[in-house]
Amino acid sequence: EEVVLKIASGQIASSPSAVLKELIENALDAGATEVTVKIDDPFNFRVIDNGIGIPYKDLPLAVERFATSKIEKAEDLERIKTYGFRGEALHAISQVSHLQIKSRYRNENIGGKIEVKGGKVLSLSPIPFSGGTTVIVNSLFFNTPVRKKTFDGREKKRLIQTVKTFALCHPEVTFRIDAETLPATSLKERIRQLFGESIHFNYATSERVKLLFTSAFDDERKKVSYIFVNRRAVTVSEIEKLLEELRVKNYILFIDLPPQEVDVNVTPSKERVFLKDKKVLKEIEEILKSNVSLPSI
Ligand code: ADP
Ligand code: MG
């Protein structure tokens, strides 16, 4: 009850890329070292992982509202390490799509499959399955045509960008996007995989902050600006303002903080966070002033 009350219910399935983000987070939470994303179009895609899988008896729970295997007590919200903790995503997605989950829990010798469409469980059955979890989203927004209409041909790019953003903060995981493979590697190599071999970047680091400056542009020639707090791609206006003042335009910033110092619960989409500890701002300013010669930008 208390956990439920603490949880702001949200616009989880607001866009195809928001849905894909939830599925990739689930794969990473399950300890996957390989995540494959296959995109037919913005309303039909799947995520295949080699994570721990879902026990057969828990398959119906996975699509139930507020059912999560990741926290037990309200206080746990303070120290969550997993991406997910609300148990809302699969439920929300299953309301607005034809969702199929195939999985086999490590240690179980039979897999299972559940199929839900528009919130109705269509089937649940044991199946032979090699392992890990495959989540198939079909006919996304079939029953919310107005929402569906707000997405056009550019949405596929956003889906690919969503995968690449996770790839950037999880270089230790192999990602496949349709035919492209990004093999597990170091951060340095992952950056090359994503932005090109010739990319040049500078570092500034302290204990909790790792800042990379680049002169690279992505394929749309937009600026590169990523902030990750505890491996979540986020917007932190205070930091963005600071970097702008310091005339840092292209950056990839990794910040590691104890979970209780970060307000990830601020919005349901978790994208905008607030820092409880403003010392991080000072830290960024200091490492920029002392450790690094700014590239000309
Ligand atoms: P949350 O991630 O907040 O727990 P979700 O609705 O995203 O909620 O997922 C519900 C539950 O389904 C998870 O707690 C987890 O137990 C299980 N689950 C979902 N996706 C996967 C996956 N890819 N591998 C293993 N378990 C999964
Ligand atoms: Mg989740």
Backbone φ and ψ for 55, nearest 5 degrees, come out as -60, 140
Return the residue whose CA atom lies nearest to atom 13 of ligand 1.
Answer: 68
What is the spatial distance between Cα 139 and Cα 136, in angstroms, rounded to a whole number?
Answer: 10
Q: Which of 138, 156, 182 is the last residue of a domain?
A: 182
What pLDDT does 294 receive?
Answer: 47
Residue 186 has a CB neighbour count (10 Å cut-off) of 10
What pLDDT does 266 receive?
Answer: 55
- Burial of 212: CB neighbours in 10 Å, binned 0-12, 13-18, 19+: buried
Give yes or no for residue 69 having a pLDDT over 80: no
Q: Kindly state if the Cβ of 54 falls inside 6 Å of ligand 1.
A: yes
- Are 78 and 123 found together in one domain? yes
Q: Kindly state if the Cβ of 94 falls inside 6 Å of ligand 1.
A: no
Segment 64-84 shows an average pLDDT of 66
Q: Which ligand 1 atom sits nearest the alpha carbon of residue 92? A: 6
Give the count of domains, the chain. 2
Token representation of residue 282: 């000072």
Confidence of residue 2 (pLDDT cuts 50, 70, 90): very low
DSSP symbol at 58: G
Q: Is residue 217 part of a domain?
A: yes
What is the spatial distance between Cα 201 and Cα 86, in angstroms, rounded to a whole number?
Answer: 37
pTM given for the model: 0.89
Q: Which ligand is nearest to the CA of 50?
A: 1
CATH number for the domain including 239? Answer: 3.30.230.10
Find the domain containing 66 and state its range.
2-182
Confidence of residue 81 (pLDDT cuts 50, 70, 90): confident
Q: Which of 67-81, 186-200, 207-221, 274-288 has the lowest mean pLDDT?
A: 67-81
User: How many residues comprise the chain?
Assistant: 297
Q: Kindly state if the Cβ of 88 falls inside 6 Å of ligand 1.
A: yes
Q: Is residue 7 part of a domain?
A: yes
- Are 57 and 156 found together in one domain? yes
What pLDDT does 75 receive?
Answer: 55
Give yes or no for residue 176 having a pLDDT over 80: yes
Q: Which ligand 1 atom sits nearest the alpha carbon of residue 90? A: 6
Give yes or no for residue 292 having a pLDDT over 60: no
What pLDDT does 92 receive?
Answer: 92
Q: Kindly state if the Cβ of 20 falls inside 6 Å of ligand 1.
A: no
Give yes or no for residue 213 having a pLDDT over 80: no
Residue 166 has a CB neighbour count (10 Å cut-off) of 21
Segment 235-245 shows an average pLDDT of 88
What pLDDT does 222 receive?
Answer: 61
Confidence of residue 76 (pLDDT cuts 50, 70, 90): low
What pLDDT does 86 receive?
Answer: 74
CATH number for the domain including 140? Answer: 3.30.565.10
Q: Is 9 helix (H, G, I), strand (E, B) or coil?
A: coil
Q: Kindly state if the Cβ of 105 falls inside 6 Å of ligand 1.
A: no
Q: Which of 10-14, 59-63, 290-294 has the lowest mean pLDDT?
A: 290-294
Token representation of residue 279: 């010392």
Assembly ipTM: 0.99
What is the spatial distance between Cα 287 and Cα 129, in angstroms, rounded to a whole number?
Answer: 50
Segment 81-85 shows an average pLDDT of 76
- Are 61 and 91 found together in one domain? yes
Q: Which of 116, 147, 182 is the last residue of a domain?
A: 182
Q: Which of 126, 148, 182 is the last residue of a domain?
A: 182
Q: Hey, what long-range contacts does 111-117 have (CB within 8 A, 24 or more apart)?
A: 111/53, 111/56, 112/54, 112/56, 112/59, 113/59, 114/59, 114/60, 114/62, 114/63, 116/63
Q: Is residue 277 part of a domain?
A: yes
Distance of CA 126 from the midpoint of ligand 2 (Å): 23
